[in-house]
Amino acid sequence: MDILLESLSGLDEFLAYFAASLGLLAACVAVYVRITPYAEIQLIRDGNVAAAASLSGAVLGFAVPLASAVLSSANFADMLMWGVIALAAQLIAYLLVRLLIPHLSADIPAGKVAPGVLLGAVSLAIGILNAGCMTY
């Protein structure tokens, strides 16, 4: 019984970090889909692969540094701050690709897969680099 209690001693911290991480992930998706001029969720429901690839890359590109922030943060507030920084990095990634591909706002709703895959890949790459830079 002592072993079980000892194993569960960090459950409250786990639940707090996990709930905050899910909240940050939901916030990231909410903000991301609001800054893009097309309706990713509806496009994905309609089978648009370009929208699915781009949004998937943004979600993964946010989740990777967020996981790094959970692992290396000094405390809960520190993790939240780095989560917000990870979100900012994803928004910057989107804006950079939009500059690189001027017709991105029309290409993704049109189902052009290549720009969607590029946006997803850049988002994931930015997330991986962001995570790697979160070392203390």
Flag whether 9 is in a domain.
no
For 44-70, b where at least 16 C-beta lie within 10 A, e where not — what string?
Answer: beeebebbbbbbbbbbebbbbbbebbb
pTM: 0.91
Phi, psi (rounded to 5 degrees) for 36: -80, 145
pLDDT value at 103 more than 80: yes
- 91, 31 in Cβ contact below 8 A? yes
What's the sign of the alpha-carbon dihedral 106, 112, 114, 117? positive
How much helix, strand and coil, in percent to the nearest 5, is found in the chain? Answer: 85, 0, 15
pLDDT value at 39 more than 90: yes
Which domain, by its residues, includes 125? 49-136
Flag whether 97 is in a domain.
yes
Flag whether 12 is in a domain.
no
Query: Residue 100's pLDDT band (boundaries 50, 70, 90)?
Result: very high
Cα–Cα–Cα angle for 87, 83, 68, rounded to 5 degrees: 115
Flag whether 102 is in a domain.
yes
Flag whether 92 is in a domain.
yes
- 83, 18 in Cβ contact below 8 A? no
Flag whether 5 is in a domain.
no
Residues listed for the chain: 136
Query: How many angstroms from the chain centroid is the CA of residue 72?
Result: 18
Number of structural domains the chain divides into? 1
Query: Residue 62's pLDDT band (boundaries 50, 70, 90)?
Result: very high
